[in-house]
Amino acid sequence: MLDTQLTDEQTQLVATVREFTREVVAPVSYQHDHDHTFPYEVVKQMGEMGLFGLPFPEEVGGMGGDYFTLCLALEELAKVDQSVAMTLEAGVSLGAMPVHRFGTQAQKDEWLPQLVTGQSLGAFGLTEPQAGSDAGGTRTTAVLDSGEWVINGRKQFITNSGTDITRLVTVTAVTGRTAGDRPEISSFLVPVPTSGFTAEKAYDKVGWNASDTHPLTLDDVRVPEENLLGERGRGYAGFLRILDEGRIAIAAVGTGVAQGCVDESVKYAKEREAFGRPIGTNQSIAFTIARMQARAHTARTAYYDAAARMIAGLPFKTEASIAKIVAGEAAMDNARDACQVHGGYGFMNEYVVARHYRDSKILEIGEGTTEVQLMLVARSLGL
């Protein structure tokens, strides 16, 4: 089923994003990382290129592509700047996709045109201080009062939630109890700004310094009854579907990182001389980079397969988890080896491999930890 040959259109997209990454993203990447500033000018150009609309139909302002096409763009961006790649990934798969998948026609008409063109950013409010991997432990509540939902709670680690162009945050909240006394979790569209909604001070993170991430406070936030997204009580189930898809996108980012580390190491190994010859002529360096390439190739094969299954309408949950495991570990391992190949320069933030070394750890945590992915794979084996 897996076809690793890209179409002419996909090949052209990759070339276009690669050129954009080299000419627009790379020159400002270090400074945004150093200053912890959001790259508004880069995001604006990505919107103009149609990257935020890649997997959405043309009738809502999208590009008419599919999820795999989005992943190809993410892989290219991630080679140079994970913060930029994650701004796109979260804006599409976590911001706009829930509306596209579960929204009413009125909700789609209101939100998708601005989200899929990159004019506005959406965010995905699932994780809470007491509910991370155990997202079913949500404590945020929503109570229906006089035709409005009143939402109270806290969310944390929410990407794209506090930018100047953030206009929507979808949040999960407990709306009651089931017959078995389990929490009934629903999801809601919260426009930004809204009274009672606060994006608190941005986190001081180890990496992804140019990616916008905040804890959120919802204090008697009131939204219209029709802002319920999807069926009442199906919010958690819907978000699990979104996360399954998002893991393929995260795997594409991890693959881009792994390949970017290879590309930078090959370049450096050919240019850097020691003891009168390029260090790439030393078998230890050459073999290290060869092993790095093997990891990148394996990660790419894994996410291509998961994406192909998803697009074909086949079960893909297990394959998405495998892809995320493989790509996250490939990114971490390749970033470590790339820093070693670069020697002292690999410890300098001006070098992209150093930033990858800091940035890549979260790829083994965000959108489902490696341990959660292993649990899901083990369950699929009947364990």
Rg (CA), the chain: 21
Architecture of domain 8-120: Orthogonal Bundle (1.10)
C-alpha to C-alpha distances, 127 to 133, 151, 170, nearest whole angstrom: 8, 15, 12
Distance in angstroms (rounded) separating the CA atoms of residues 228 and 337: 47
Q: Model confidence at 236, in pLDDT bands (50, 70, 90)?
A: confident
Nearest Cα to Cα of residue 118 among 50, 212, 170: 50
Is the pLDDT score of 3 beyond 80? no
Distance in angstroms (rounded) separating the CA atoms of residues 24 and 98: 30
Where is average pLDDT lowest: 123-137, 256-270, 324-338?
123-137
Q: Model confidence at 2, in pLDDT bands (50, 70, 90)?
A: low
Q: Which fold has domain 122-233?
A: Butyryl-CoA Dehydrogenase, subunit A; domain 2 (2.40.110)
Q: Buried b vs exposed e over 86-116: b needs ≥16 C-beta within 10 Å?
A: bbbbbbbbbbbbbbbebbeeebbebbbbbbb
Q: Where are the domains of the chain?
A: 8-120, 122-233, 237-380
Is the pLDDT score of 135 beyond 80? no
Mean pLDDT for the chain overall = 95
pLDDT digits (tens, 9 = 90+) for 65-74: 999 999 999 9
Whether the full predicted model's pTM is greater than 0.85, yes or no, is yes
Looking at 3.40.50.280, 3.40.50.2000, 1.20.140.10, 3.40.50.970, the CATH number of the domain 237-380 comes to 1.20.140.10
Q: What DSSP state is assigned to residue 128?
A: B
Distance in angstroms (rounded) separating the CA atoms of residues 361 and 261: 14
pLDDT digits (tens, 9 = 90+) for 80-114: 999 999 999 999 999 999 999 999 999 999 999 99
pLDDT digits (tens, 9 = 90+) for 267-316: 999 999 999 999 999 999 999 999 999 999 999 999 999 999 999 999 99
The verdict on whether 367 is a catalytic residue reads: yes
How is residue 193 written in tokens? 């700004």
Q: Which of 148, 225, 367, 371 is catalytic?
A: 367
